[in-house]
Every structure is written in C-alpha cells, then in structure tokens.
A and B are shown apart, each in its own frame.
Chain A
Amino acid sequence: MSEKQYDAIIIGGGHNGLICASILSKKNKKVLICEARETCGGMANQEIINYVPSIPNSVSQSIGGLNLKYNSKGTIALSESGKHIRLIGNLHLDHATISKFSTQDADRYLQFHDKMSQFSKTLGKFMMDSPPRIMNNSLSDYAKLLKLGLNVRMLGKKKFNEFARMIGLNIADELEDNFESTLLQGLIAHDSVLGSNLGPRSPGSLINLLYRMAIHGNSLFGGIYEMDGGSESLISALIEKCKKSNVEIKTSAFVKNCIVEDDKAIGVELHNGEKIFAKTVISNTDPRSTYFSLLGAQNLDTDVKRRIKHHRSKGRVAKLTLKLNKMPEFNDCDEIDLNSRMVISPSIDYIEENFNPSKFDKLSSEPVLEMCMKKDEAGAPFLDIQVQYAPYKAHGGWENIKNDYINSIIKIISKYSSNIESCIDSKAFITPDDIEQDYHISGGHWHHGEIQIDQLFMLRPIPGAAQYKTHLDGLYMCGAGTHPGGGMHGISGKNAAKVVLGDL
C-alpha cells in the first residue's frame, strides 16, 4: 500500500499520456504513469502504424521542444496497367505528374487542393483548443464559439457557403464532380476513409479527409513522414523528457479500476492489488474502457451509461506484416517507388464494394491496402500492410477466417508484384480484436472512437465529457477518444494537461 500521494496518475503511457505527464511535471506536479504493457508508447509503434505526421509546434513547444528527424514519404497509387500515379505533396511537381494522365484533372487538382487545405486550416483552428460548451452560461465558452464562427465566416462568403456544403458531403461525389481519373479518385477516397467505418459514398467521409489533412500539415500528400527508428523514437524522446522532469513510470502495471470515494476519484488499484493515491486520475485509454472498466457501470447514471454503450469505436484496420527474404519486384516500380507509401485502391467503386460487407462485420474478398517497405535492425526487408475494412469481431470469428483472408490479400498484391509470393518468409497478422487485447483499447480502434460529426468536437466522446473531464470529479481523459481525435499529434494530451492544471 503506497502512502505517497501524487498530483496525477496517468493510466496508459501512450504518446498523449507522455505529453500530458511532461506538461504537468514541468509545473512541478508529481506525476506517475501506469502502463499495462512492458513498454510505453501504445499504438505508436511499427506493429500498428506505417507513418506519422509531425508533431504540431504548439504541442512540442508546450513540452519544451522536441528534436526529431522526419523523412518525407511520397505516395504511389498502383494501377494494374502499370500506369501508377506518384504524388509527393509538392503542388508544382504533383501538377506535372497528374498532367500526364489528364490536363484537366491536373488543373482541377490545384483548385481542389487549395480549397481543401483552406478548409483543413480552418478546421485546424477548431482542433487546437478544448471545445466550448453550448449554453453553459460561461462567457469564455461563448467567446470561443463566437471566435470559431468568425474564423469560418472570415473565409469569405463564397468559401463559407462551400464549407457549409461540405460538412455533410461524401468524398465520392466531390471527387466525381472534379476528376476524371478513376485512379486519382480511388487514391484520394482511400485517404478519406482510412481508419474509419465509412465508405467513400458515406456522408461525413469528406470531414474525415479534412481532419487527416489538418494533421498532415494541411496537405493531401505532404506531411507524411517516416522517422529514423520509427515512431518508437518519438516515444523514446517523450519518455526522456518525462524522466528529466521526474515523472515516474511504472510498466507492466495494469490498472484494474479507479478508486472512488465520496463521488470523487482518489486513486487507482493495480492488477496485483496495489493501491496508489492521487489528487487527480487521468485516463489515456479509450472512453469505453475509462467508463466501464475503470469506473464501472455501477458508478454511472443511466444516461451516461447508455451514451458510452453506444459510443462507436469498432476498429476497421488490420495489419499484415510480411517478412521477406529479398526485396520484391513491383511491376513498373523503381527503388524510389518502393520507398513510398504504396496504395492499392484503384477506384471509388472498388473501395465501396469492400466497404459494403464490413457494415455487417463481414470480410470482402478484395481488400483495400496501404503498404510500406521497411527494413529491420538486421537490414532484412519486410512489408507492412494496412488492411482497410477488416472488422472488429468479424462474422464467423477471426480464427476461422484469418488464413483465407491473408491469402486473398497476397493474391491482390500479386496483381501488382510478379514475385511477391516467392519473397515471403513469414507472415504476422494483427486484427482489431488483437489490438484490443494487446493494447487495451476497446474495439481496437485507431482513434479510440469514430471520427464522425456526432462524435467530434463538443460531442467527443459524449456530450458533457468533451472537455477532458469525465462525469466523475477527479477523473480526466487525455487520449485519442477526446477532442480532436487520434492521429499522433498529441493535442489531446496537451489540452487535457491544461484542464488538469486549472483544477490542481
């Protein structure tokens, strides 16, 4: 039994938790991080993600600056015909590339990108701060709402109207209105639905794309980075910052539940029975785990219980890692292409056909893929593949259908690579169910909860708990399940720290 009392215990050592801890400790608060796994970092590791955005300045400044090396990654949309589209995020060069396919598309691309990046910048302004509450009778909330409204209005009448139109629009309509190249449409549509439970024709898919752009430097194909040492190097840098300001980190410490006394969170109990006390408890896990596991249904009123129960967070992305005995050949691709983000998503209809079965937790036979070639410490190549629309708790059970599914993925890849099958040494497959189990995130969802309008901003994760405080005094949330959402930017951690400091 630990008599020492901390100012804050953070449950979960993912990047948001580390950033939150760092900010609190810089203000001389005594912080303890309890991480269930053997290492911190959560889903920010090679096993799960392919690439990262760069941490926004406001976040890195709040923890005293980060010295990280980012390597830009280009994108290549593969075509069975060999006529691939290669985009790198430089508008001038990308325009030239697209011109080879269609001069009209190339010009439209510039207009489209200009419009979208203006909107993602506007959206970005909504993302940086804690969302205001409506009707809370607080002057600062009203001021915030007004400021946000003005930001949008300042886009000018035309752009404002366009913005209002686009909020509920689906990306397929917008792409079909603008472009003729089905491959280009397929690529942009892919990026719009990545990680989500939406299809390209689903209303709201456009917002998803804007969100992604806002994280990636307001660019469609720029702002995509690989780090030397992978995203683990970001985590190491964050852990160092924490250690420097005396944050304590306990690993292999699974928190069973939050200790509640007199309607207030006063500490946590670990799986081994150890009880640790603190003035505040901050959960970096997903909202459902926070409310149902840490708090427990008995501590929730009916309304909150119902809302959290229906919080949508079913993971839709699986990861297939192919360890290779040599570099595979991809048709009509050179070495630079193999270093790019390779996307197999030939058209909007292809994606939509794959999306259809996932609505009912079924698998499609021709999945949508995003691949990155990597090298391990020994220099051996491996292919990391994100498989979109691989459902959480797939119909029939993953154990029974996994192998067929993996084979169908490899079959798709072999349409684009003549020798992939002969290069494969071994395969590792992680489903959303596996992610849930290994990382303790409900549904195995990347963003700890769907990025859809009714689960964003003032409604994220649920109404009344969108300002990093749960309904229980002393219990806060700082993970991706809060505003603005997931994506390795650390904004949630930074904002949550600010709120906690205000209360301490």
Chain B
Amino acid sequence: MPKNTHDIIVVGAGHNGLTAASYMAKAGLDVLVLEKNEWIGGAAVSRELYPGWKYSNCSYVCSLLRPEIMRDLELYKYGLQIIPYEGSATMMRNGDYYAHYHDHDMTINAIRRHSHKDAEAYERYSRDVLRQCKIIKPLLKMTPPDLTSFSPKNILGALEFAKHFAAKDELGGLGEKEIYDTIRFYTMSIRDYLDEYFESEITKAHLAGSAIIGTALGPCSPGSAYVLLHHYMGEVDGSVGSWGYSRGGMGSITKAMMGCLNDHGGEVKPSSEVANVIVKNGRAIGVATTNGDEFYAKKIISNLDAKRTFLKITEEKNLPGEFVERIKNFKIRGSSGKLNIALDGLPDFPCIPEGDPGGGGDMHFTETIEEMEGAYDDWKRGQWSRNPYVDMCIPSKSDPTMAAPGKHYMSVFIQYVPFNLANGGWNEERKQEFGRHIVDCISEFSPNFKDLINHYEVRTPMDLDSEVGLTEGNIFQGELTMDQLMFNRPVPGYAQYRTPLKNMYICSSSTHPGGGVMGAPGANAAREVLLDMNIPQKGNYY
C-alpha cells in the first residue's frame, strides 16, 4: 500500500476545489488538495502585493456565493463577512452621473432624473429579471441531465429541469407566455432586451455592463442577455441581485473555506503543482507533481479548467479522441484585465455628489451601448479597447482591513483586453502602456487621481493564465454561451462532473453552472462523487 494515499485528491485550491473538498471532508472522507502556488484561493485571493495594501487582485466582489454553501460550510464561523454595496454609478462626460441604489425607491428617483419613462419601465424590468433569477436559482444546484440518455435518472432529471422553466404566471395558471419570455431572454442580445424597456442610452449602458463582464461578447451579441442573469442571480443578505465586499478581500472567502476543510481533517498542500494524472488499467489512481512527488487516491477531482484538465494534466491516450477534439474546441477566450491600485487618499470623482451612496459601490464611465460595442470591436481586432468599459470600486471605503487609515485600495476591472495582443503579443512595455491608458481614462473623471497613486499592479489575461492558471485569462473558465452551458458544459455528454476517465472528476467553473465565485460547480461535483461512493449526503445544499 503506497504512502500518500487518500480518499480524495483535489487538484487546485480555488474556491470550487475548496468547496468540493470541504463537502467531502464533512462527509468523513480523507481529502488532500494540491495547489501549485504558495498561496491558496485561485482567483479568489487577497494579497499584500505592496506593503500596507491588500489587493483582491483577481475577483473583487461577492454575490454569487451560494447561501446554502455558506451555511453548510459555516463560513461565517471561519471569518467570512460580506458587506453589501450601497449603490452603483456611471459617470458622464458632461459632469452628470447615473446611479442605482440598494434601496429600490431611491433607484427609481435617480432614474427619473434622466427619464420618467425609464423610471416607470424599471419596475417592469426588475420584475421580469427577478422572475428569471427565480427560475434559474434551483437549476444552479442541479446536475444537468444527459438529454441523450434514456436512463430513469436522466429522464427524471430532464423533467425536473423542464419543470422549473414551466413557471406559473401570477394568476396560478400555466405560463405559456413566461416560457416564451424565458426562451427569448436566453437568446437575445442585451441591447435588444434593454431596448424593450428603456429609452435613454445611459440607463441601457449602465445596465448592460453586467451582461458583458468576463465575456467574449458585445452588448449587441445574441446571448448576452443571459450573462446579465448570471450576474444578477446572486444575493447578499437575502436581497437578490445585490453585491457586496468580502471583509478582508476575496481571500477571506477561500480562507474561510480552508478553515472549514482543516477542521474536518482535510489538508491543503501549497507549492505542489500537479504535472499529470497517474493512470493504471484505464483508471485514474493518483497524481504526480512537478517536483516528483506522487499521491494516490480513490478519486481524483480536478479544479482546473477543462483545457488544463484534459489537455495538460491528462495524457491524450487516456481519453476518447472525439472528446479531446471537443475540448480543444471549447471556447475559453480571455477578454478582461485588471488594475489594482494603492492610493494615498480618496480620489475625488466630481460627477458623484459627496456622500452619495452611488460612489460606494461599482463605478463606470461608459455612457452608450455604441461605446461599449466599440470596445468589443477593438478586442475582436486583437487590441485593448480605446474606450474601455470599467468596473471600479474602492473596497477600503467600507472595509478598513484593506489599507491603513486614510489610505485606499482601488480595484479596476476592465473589458476588453485581448489575450493575444495583435502585432507581437504582450511584453512588459506594452503592459505598462496599457496600464497608463487605463489610468488616463480614469483621470478624466478624477482630477487628483494620478497624484494619489502610490503603486499599481497591471494584470492582463496573460497574467491570469500564467499566475492563476486560468486558460487564456478567461475568468469564467469557458464562455457562457448556450453551446457551452448546462448540459453542454464543458462538452455535451460530459456535463455531470464525471470525466471519460474512470475515477476522475471535474469540479471547476468549466462545469455547470459556470464561473463567478459561486461554489456551485464544486458542491455539485462533490455530490456526484459522494453518490458514486454511496455515501449519504447531509446539509442544506442537498
């Protein structure tokens, strides 16, 4: 019996891997998580990259983390605390601004300043989008059925899936119209969808941002409306669609998960990059790391994205040829960049009145859909956007643990940034040029911004790829388009967390329901593993 044998090995200590590991440890299994970096958390990390400032240097806000997971893993016990956003704002070149707030009525009044019609339409819009959120929520924690299988489990699964879409209308009757509206919502572009409600460009531009973050789509691309849902279906404090900061940065989430894992006997080994899966007699029996260590287990769970899982750490000969072809064609294009900035004080944003809660959450400056689409068109040509869409926030305003008193940490998320930069690719010089470009764009809205900058870190999709291990820097580990969602994720026929290789599973965001700091892929995968091992499952999630 070889040493280093466990029940479960999880490859990658990102939040999904830690979630899956925790559930399995809670069920009594001996779990080992192997992480290539010195630090854990994947893209949900807080790191003091500059003395005195903590950066949430990849993901930066929390909403999608499933409340059931938070309860099951008792994350609050291990230090997790989420502070809801107060609002969000888009700054306008003419000095005005557009804002939404945590408080619904305040939001209506704010919209009314720009358009009465839009303020009225917002009620209808919220109601319709909320309905879509309600429909999809139960689906997040379901394993997608295999539609080609006639097995009872899959047929029942398919009916269960379909049942959730057959929403009842307000009068309790059968909702034919609601089904059609759902189909439309899943297939339309966000621009067309918003056109059906709103007339003013600024309203549409403010709302459309959530539909393009992290995607290789523009606001005019069919299918972008669905992504809006993906960003709206979270909740903070029971309020659906709201976002918040994790106290201590996003790393607190993964730290809390690790706390739970350790408490239940699980172990995380950093600085242990898995080189390949060890296969014997057609079964995965363990992994080998780059420094030569070997670890064995009954089940191997990969938390890497589909491409790294199947094309990097698994030898091609152990997988069906057609499966490999499909994985090669799995779309996973990076389109996002980031600036993490250490500030000596709070920058002035004159557009937003002092004390207005709109300045306490996410800030943007893209005013029209055309501008947003133009940003996307630049990316298609292999360039960073001349007029980028940004999602900026200053977490230290509500979370004093991120910086010293009076100092601030600012997170700037940018769409669109190509992985393959045209004319030669990324190098240090071009990276800095890009950073300066973003700083320039922000300075247009904040006169003292540049003076306050102490340090900043520029991250391109290349950095996300090499440092975090997100292929091509795609933050969702695979595009959120219909051909790669639900029973098609990562590839049709293999959407149930099991891989073609016996005893090997995948629990990352490349599986249903996709990326974002949700934890659902991890929890779903854990359920399937426990099912296969005939271990009863307990907890709110199940």
Q: Which of B166-210 contact A (CB under 8 A)?
A: 166, 174-177, 179-181, 183-184, 187-188, 192, 195-196
Q: Does B30 contact A (CB under 8 A)?
A: no
The interface residues of chain B lying within 8 Å CB-to-CB of A173 are 329, 331
* Interchain CB contact under 8 A, B177 and A167: no
* Interchain CB contact under 8 A, B483 and A153: no
- The answer to whether residues A134 and B179 also contact, given A177-B329, A203-B222 and a CB cut-off of 8 A, is yes
* Interchain CB contact under 8 A, B148 and A168: no
Chain-A contact segment, one of B40-48, B432-440, B487-495: B487-495
Q: Bound state CA distance, A459 and B487, in angstroms?
A: 23
* Interchain CB contact under 8 A, A352 and B380: yes
- The answer to whether residues A453 and B176 also contact, given A135-B166, A162-B492 and a CB cut-off of 8 A, is no
Q: Which of A155-178 contact B (CB under 8 A)?
A: 157-158, 160-162, 164-169, 173, 177
* Interchain CB contact under 8 A, A153 and B148: yes
Closest to A306 in B: B196
* Interchain CB contact under 8 A, A135 and B222: no
Q: Does A198 contact B (CB under 8 A)?
A: yes
Q: Does A188 contact B (CB under 8 A)?
A: no
* Interchain CB contact under 8 A, A452 and B187: yes
Contact with A310, one of B196, B221, B370, B491 (Cβ below 8 angstroms): B196
Q: Which of B507-538 contact A (CB under 8 A)?
A: none
Closest to B188 in A: A454
* Interchain CB contact under 8 A, B483 and A459: no
Q: Which of A340-359 contact B (CB under 8 A)?
A: 352, 356, 359
* Interchain CB contact under 8 A, A168 and B223: yes
Contact with B222, one of A202, A356, A464 (Cβ below 8 angstroms): A202
Q: Does A204 contact B (CB under 8 A)?
A: yes
Q: Bound state CA distance, A192 and B318, in angstroms?
A: 37
Q: Bound state CA distance, A161 and B323, in angstroms?
A: 12
* Interchain CB contact under 8 A, A137 and B147: no
Contact with B177, one of A153, A306, A463 (Cβ below 8 angstroms): A463
- The answer to whether residues A203 and B147 also contact, given A198-B222, A359-B220 and a CB cut-off of 8 A, is no
- The answer to whether residues A204 and B481 also contact, given A459-B180, A464-B177 and a CB cut-off of 8 A, is no
The proximity string for A residues 176-213 relative to B, scoring 1 for CB distances below 8 Å and 0 otherwise, is 01000000000000000000001001111000000000
Contact with A203, one of B149, B221, B488, B493 (Cβ below 8 angstroms): B221
Contact with A169, one of B175, B180, B483 (Cβ below 8 angstroms): B483
Shortest C-beta distance, A482 to chain B (Å), equals: 16
Q: Which of B446-481 contact A (CB under 8 A)?
A: 481
Q: Which of B208-240 contact A (CB under 8 A)?
A: 217, 220-223
* Interchain CB contact under 8 A, B176 and A135: yes
- The answer to whether residues A202 and B221 also contact, given A161-B148, A454-B183 and a CB cut-off of 8 A, is yes
The interface residues of chain B lying within 8 Å CB-to-CB of A306 are 196
Closest to A362 in B: B370
User: Which residues of B are interface residues toward A (Cβ below 8 A)?
Assistant: 147-149, 166, 174-177, 179-181, 183-184, 187-188, 192, 195-196, 217, 220-223, 322, 329, 331, 370, 373, 377, 380, 481-484, 487-488, 491-493
User: Which residues of A are interface residues toward B (Cβ below 8 A)?
Assistant: 133-137, 153, 157-158, 160-162, 164-169, 173, 177, 198, 201-204, 306, 310, 312, 352, 356, 359-360, 452-454, 458-459, 463-464
Known interface pairs A198-B222, A458-B180; 11 further A-B residue pairs with C-beta atoms within 8 A, sorted by A's residue number: A135-B175, A165-B492, A168-B481, A202-B220, A202-B221, A203-B217, A204-B187, A352-B380, A452-B222, A463-B176, A463-B181
Q: What are 17 of the A-B contact pairs (CB < 8 Å)?
A: A134-B179, A137-B174, A161-B491, A161-B492, A162-B492, A164-B483, A165-B492, A167-B483, A168-B482, A169-B481, A177-B329, A203-B222, A204-B187, A310-B195, A359-B220, A458-B180, A463-B181
Closest 9 CB pairs of A and B: A168-B482, A161-B492, A463-B180, A157-B148, A453-B187, A454-B184, A203-B223, A135-B176, A135-B174
